[in-house]
Structure 1
Amino acid sequence: MTNLLPLIQNETLKIWKKKRFYVVVLILLILIPIFTYAELKVAQNNADKFKDWRNQVLQQITDMQNTLSSDRIPEEWKRYQRITVQQLQYYLDKDVNPNSPNGVTFTRNFLDNSVTLFIPLLVLAIGSDLVSGERTNGTIKMLLTRPVRRWKILFSKLAALTLYVSLTIVTTAALCYIISGLFFGYEGWTMPIFTGFALNGSEVDARYVHAVAQWRYLLMQGGLIWFSAMTVAILSILVSVLIRSTAASMVTMMAAVIAGTILSNMSSSWESAKYIFAVNLQLTSYLEGSPPPIEGMTLVFSLAVLGIWSALALVVSFLVWTKQDILN
């Protein structure tokens, strides 16, 4: 343990000196105000069009029901619309505005829409070359001359990456709340959010639905996002160990995440696709009761799939790292 702490500190400093986390923060400082402005315009348009939030929700339900009558809409989309209609009706019956504009709600929605692509890409920007970058720069030879076991070196890289994954998620949430709060206000922590929706075909089972304060919902959401992001981070370490080129390792993981995101929107008829890690990254959708990409998927199933992918990636990474010829 005494040998690991200096190694972890060294790896943490190496990531920091690459200044990629600064780039991540800069990206967030550019994109979040843009999305905040877009949300503000939507809120202003709705305020001009609807005097009461209930009328807005009723209009949403009416628009979706009209869409369901069209023969041009695929059945998968109709199923999603039916479920959304039932959920909106549930909020209406409970007299809770699901679209109440405030800093906390904006943060929750931003994180929910970022879990499958945006946050994974931020993670890859930081950690996709932890090992391959050492080879490209030639520092791997100096690293291996130290009297330290190889597995400790790789473990220190994993620990440092875990720290930056956590920091990325916390920073994203904090900047969302601070920036959006300037326009929408900083209240909303105790606003009730309904969770526990269960799907039975195209019907929503509301027997287990219960209200939780929005701050508690954010904590659950953040934990699920962290789990998804760590799966991507661990797989990026595996690719970085297997592929010697920095550029190739980054492109490989980015392509896998992007292709998986596209596949999750097109794989409803391909049941075996539910075992692909990228199809299971949208863990937060289970909190709000959205239909999964493939029928039959559940939160426990997705957590298990991501856990198995992570475990296998760790085993292969450490086995290859400790046995491969690094110097040639």
Structure 2
Amino acid sequence: MAILRDVTLRDGLQLTGKVLPTDRKVEIVRRLLAAGVPELEIGSMARPDLVPPMANSLELVAALTPEELRRCWLWVATPRHIEKAAAVGVRNFQYCFSVSDAHNKANIGRTTEDSVAAMPEAVRLTRAVGGRVQLCLATAFTCPFDGPVDPARVLEIATDPRTDGADDIVLADTLGQAYPNQVAALVESVRTRTPKRRIVFHGHDTWGMGVANSLAAIAAGADVVDGSLGGLGGCPFAPGASGNTSSEDLLFATRPEWFTPTVLADLVKMSESLLIELGEPNRSRAAEGARSTAKAFEWVVTE
């Protein structure tokens, strides 16, 4: 069974324009981990002048324990990012770049080839601190500037010897334009034709396919699916991208053993409070359903 990684504190916050205080982020991390969420993405090394909500990511890392950090990931785009993050205790690095050159240049200011060429050094630095590193491929399905992305290009990067050291591979539907058969086909190809490693599917719900695409990815062999509280999020460098797939919706669909009506109620209350604080809409259908008047259904939140 695939597990959930909640990305509220990174991808979820990117478009909000508001910096949550460090202690508020610590509270969210600890509540999510206590609820049973297996893994979290908690921040980014992106430039704070370009992505202000990520400005205190390293302060958040410094406030967490090594045990908590073992379940947390930080977005990085260069070996230098890894050096700086490792110095304050990060051990799980999501080394991210785009399959399409146009988006990679808009997002991190370099070509895809430049990012691939730097990955061996990123892997070396990760291993030097006993960490893990993910090969995260943004725009794995479509690019906002170039259109559809050829799956062969994804496989080319995934089988490039310079990316061999990755512990996981993340396939990101950055724009939320993919559909289930397409997601299943790419996950299956990556699973059977590239080095063995965990497969993470990162979906957005822009076109209403977030949960369907995540379930298709799981059926095709994905080990992890990403979501955010209330469907919060989007990419500031991808015109047309909206929120992530909702964590509540993914959990309600997949029903891991630790996910109970009590846990759902806690997550719904947590996301409602956060979204009000940020001035953002709640896009979770499960959260909406949990507030229904069908009191005989055990998943309804009655408080």
TM-score bracket relative to the smaller structure? under 0.3
> Which has the greater radius of gyration?
1
| Greater helix share, structure number | 1
TM-score of the superposition, structure 2-length normalised?
Answer: 0.23
| Greater strand share, structure number | 2
